[in-house]
Structure 1
Amino acid sequence: MQWDKLYSAKRTGSEHKISSSPETIRNSFVRDYDRIIFSSAFRRLQNKTQVFPLPGPVFVHNRLTHSLEVASVGRSLGKAVGDILAAKYNKGSEDFQEFYKYELPSVIAAGCLAHDIGNPPFGHSGEDAIRIFFRELEGDAKKRFDDRLSENQKRDFMFFEGNANAVRTLTHNFNENSEGGFRLTYSTLASIVKYPTDSLNGFNKQNLFTKKSGFFDSEVGVYKTIAESLGIPSLSETGNVFVRHPFVYLVEAADDICYRIIDFEDAHRLHIISIDTIKELFLSFFDNETGYDAREKVEETFNKINDDNQKIQFLRAKLINLLIGRVSNIFIEKEMDLLAGKVSKPIIDYLPENELKLVRSIDEYSYANIYNHRSVVEIEIAGYNVIGALLKEFFNAVLSPKSSKSQKLLQLISKQFVITGDESKLYNDIQSIVDFVAGMTDLFAVDMYRKITGMSFPQIK
């Protein structure tokens, strides 16, 4: 891969327009950011669980606030890396200099903003609920599912992946006449595909690129077009497996930095983790630093702050800034391997041994005390029940669209999700109901679940 080929102002749905926007206020890549942040799919993230249940008397992060913070960190990473690349290749074209010095931060920020846009309600349990529903099909439903869908299509549902659904959400036109979905640039779209393979070749944890899947069967053609345009090599002559675009590592790193630190901040607000635990873990990153980042200096400022929440915010800011510097330097050190598609781990996994050990300590503590906290487990169970029940009702309606109940259920699905009732298009019809359910907010899903199961009676408004 080549740095001067890895960016493009081409957009899905309008590939014939290949030049950057001549406007100086909003270039092509800033437009990507704006299109995402003003979209209803992004706004719905405000009522989708990040880790802890929503809403509650204590503010905790939801998918939207998390995505905004990841975008902020991603912009800084893009700026740090872009400046170095622009300086290193200062004899590059004017377009090259312009992109890496000024526009790469917008691409990474937009990618970060969109990285969770395909996630269903109820956190990761929402993904599991969709997978389990389709894996546990029985009888005639299973037979028709197996007979009408290809192996790759079946795995799209049985191994449903929020990352792949993000690509679909951003590129599919649903029931609109205009093609290309959000019409984002190839650069931004490529930056969110952490696992550049389809469902059939994905979920092989031996390879970072195939650990999960990055696009559904319906979006294979879209990604192939992007890969060909940006010079992203294929790893398979027969299957849809590609190397990662280098920008992916920056989007991933921004997410890796944020969720580890922010989940601790939320857990402290909910009195799950003590300030002493956070202090010891976070301050340890500064043991070998000097100057203003020396541990004694950071600890001195920390001790002068009166409010515990402010203390955590101070440590959070210091640690994020430290890790931005670390990740930027590692990215540049790995430049040749990144371009060769040989970086086999997330960038954060290349931290110095002492710091990587601290990251692992955070992961272990989070798993034991945050992700298995009672409130988190309760909402995960609720997610299984709610999403499973909704899929059961709508899937049965798709299989028997002419029954009286099915016709009424299908009326509840937004017109943007097309249900054909054509047996030969069963894959598309199933995608439509999964699109509908995955796009729901937590509260909307619960409300619809209660109404269609008769747990609550809808009121005429």
Structure 2
Amino acid sequence: MKWETLYSNKRTGSENKSSGNNDAVRTSFLRDYDRIIFSSAFRRLQNKTQVFPLPGPVFVHNRLTHSLEVASVGRSLGKAVGDAIADKYPGNSEDFREFYKYELSAVIAAGCLAHDIGNPPFGHSGEDAIRTFFRDLEGDAKRKFEAFLTPNQQRDFLFFEGNANAFRTLTHHFNEDAPGGFRLTYATLASIIKYPADSLNGFNKQQLITKKSGFFDSEIETYKQIATALQIPQRADNANVYARHPFVYIVEAADDICYRIIDFEDAHRLNIISLDTIKELFLSFFDAREGYESKEKVESSLKKIKDDNQKVSFLRARLINLLINRICQVFMEREKELLEGSLEKSLIDYLSDDELSLIKHIDDYSVKHIYNHRSVVEIEIAGYNVIGGLLKEFFEAIIEQKSAKAKKVLQLISPQFVVTGEPEKLYYDIQSVVDFISGMTDLFAVDIYRKITGISMPQLR
């Protein structure tokens, strides 16, 4: 791969149109950011669980606030990396310099903003609930599922993946006539495909690119168009597996930094983790630093802050800044492997041994005290029951469309999601149901689950 060909302002749905931008105020890549942030799919993230249950008396991060913060970190990373690339290759074209010096930060910010847009309600337990439902199919439902869906299409549901669903959400036109979905640029879309493989070739953890999947069967051709335009090489003959676009590593790094650090901030506000514990975990990163980043300098500033929550916020900000600088260094050190498509670990995994040891300490503490906290486990169990229950009702309605109940249940699905009822289109009908459910907020999912199962009765208004 070459830096010169890895960016393009060509948009999905507009492949045959000029790629020029007539907007004198916003560049093509800033328009990507705006299209995402003003979308209904993005706004719904405000009521989707990040880690801790929503809502509560103490404000914690949801998917929307998490995505905004990842975008902020990603913008800084994109600017730092873009400056480094532009300065390293001063002899390239003015367009090259303009993109990397001033536009890459917008691409990464937009990619970060959209990275969770395909996640279903209730965090990762929502993904697991969808997978579990289809793996547990029995009888006539299982027979039809296996008879009318190709192996790859079956694995789209058996191994349902939020990353692939994000790509679908952004590129599929659903029941609208205009193609292209959000009509984002190829550069922005390529930056969110962490696992550039289809479901049949994905979920093979021997390689980073096939650890999961990045696009469903229905979006394979869309990704191929992007890969061809950006000259992203195919990694296997006759297989839908591609090299990772280098921008993906930056988006991934921004997410890696944020969720590791900010979950501690939420846990402190909920009195799950003490300030002393956070100081012990975070300040260790500054042991070998000098000047502004020295431990003594950080501790001196910390002592001047009175409120404990503000102290945690200060430590969070300083550690994020440190990691942004370190990740930029790692990116440029690994430039050759990035362009070869051979980098087999995320950028954060190439930090020094001392830094990796500290990150592992954070990860181990998070698993024990945050991700297995009772409130988190409770919301995950609720997610299994609610998502599983909704799928049962709507999937059965697809299979038995002629029954009176099935006809009523299908009326609840938004017209945006087309259900044909034709056996040969069962894959697309199932996708419509999964699109409908995965797009729900936590509260809407619970509300409709209660109503259709009779736990609560709808009221006339």
Q: 1:218-265 deviations in whole A, cap 9, x for unaligned? A: 000000110011000011111100010000000000000000000000
Distance in 1, matches of 2:111 and 2:23, equals 22
- Within the alignment, does 1:301 sit opposite 2:283 as a pair? no
Bigger mean CA deviation after superposition, 305-314 or 88-97? 88-97
Are the counterparts in 2 of residues 174 and 416 from structure 1 also a CA contact under 8 Å? Answer: yes
* Aligned match of 1:367: 367
Q: Please list, as runs of the form range in 1=range in 2, the aligned pairs for 1:345-364 lying within 5 A after superposition.
A: 345-364=345-364
Q: Residue 82 of structure 2 aligns to which amino acid in structure 1? A: G
Q: Please list, as runs of the form range in 1=range in 2, the aligned pairs for 1:193-208 lying within 5 A after superposition.
A: 193-208=193-208
TM-score (norm 1): 0.99
Q: Please list, as runs of the form range in 1=range in 2, the aligned pairs for 1:77-88 lying within 5 A after superposition.
A: 77-88=77-88
Bigger mean CA deviation after superposition, 19-28 or 380-389? 19-28
Q: Please list, as runs of the form range in 1=range in 2, the aligned pairs for 1:264-283 lying within 5 A after superposition.
A: 264-283=264-283
* Aligned match of 2:99: 99
Q: How far apart are residue 20 of structure 1 and its match?
A: 3.4
Are the counterparts in 2 of residues 20 and 27 from structure 1 also a CA contact under 8 Å? Answer: no
* Aligned match of 2:65: 65
Q: How far apart are residue 18 of structure 1 and its match?
A: 4.0
Are the counterparts in 1 of residues 82 and 104 from structure 2 also a CA contact under 8 Å? Answer: yes
Q: Please list, as runs of the form range in 1=range in 2, the aligned pairs for 1:197-346 lying within 5 A after superposition.
A: 197-346=197-346
Q: 1:354-386 deviations in whole A, cap 9, x for unaligned? A: 011100100000001100000000000000000
Distance in 2, matches of 1:24 and 1:321, equals 33
Distance in 1, matches of 2:58 and 2:312, equals 16
Are the counterparts in 2 of residues 52 and 376 from structure 1 also a CA contact under 8 Å? Answer: yes
- Pairwise CA RMSD of aligned residues? 0.6
* Aligned match of 1:20: 20
Distance in 2, matches of 1:19 and 1:384, equals 44
* Aligned match of 1:439: 439
Q: Residue 330 of structure 1 aligns to which amino acid in structure 2? A: V
Distance in 1, matches of 2:18 and 2:365, equals 48
* Aligned match of 1:376: 376
Are the counterparts in 1 of residues 67 and 114 from structure 2 also a CA contact under 8 Å? Answer: yes
Distance in 1, matches of 2:40 and 2:79, equals 28
Structure 2: where are the runs of 5+ without partners?
Answer: none
Distance 1:20 1:325, change over 3 A: farther
TM-score (norm 2): 0.99
Q: Residue 328 of structure 1 aligns to which amino acid in structure 2? A: C
Q: How far apart are residue 300 of structure 1 and its match?
A: 1.2
Q: 1:45-100 deviations in whole A, cap 9, x for unaligned? A: 00000000000000100000000000000000000010111111111111111110
Distance in 2, matches of 1:22 and 1:414, equals 35
Are the counterparts in 2 of residues 9 and 18 from structure 1 also a CA contact under 8 Å? Answer: no
Q: 1:121-142 deviations in whole A, cap 9, x for unaligned? A: 0000000000000000000000
Q: What is the percent sequence identity of the aligned residues?
A: 73
Q: 1:362-415 deviations in whole A, cap 9, x for unaligned? A: 000000110000000000000000000000000000011121111111110000
Distance in 1, matches of 2:342 and 2:310, equals 41
Q: How far apart are residue 24 of structure 1 and its match?
A: 3.3
Q: Residue 409 of structure 1 aligns to which amino acid in structure 2? A: V
2:416 match: secondary structure:
coil
Structure 1: where are the runs of 5+ without partners?
Answer: none
Q: Residue 346 of structure 1 aligns to which amino acid in structure 2? A: S
Q: Residue 437 of structure 2 aligns to which amino acid in structure 1? A: V
Distance in 2, matches of 1:315 and 1:392, equals 46
Q: Residue 208 of structure 2 aligns to which amino acid in structure 1? A: L
Q: Residue 58 of structure 2 aligns to which amino acid in structure 1? A: V
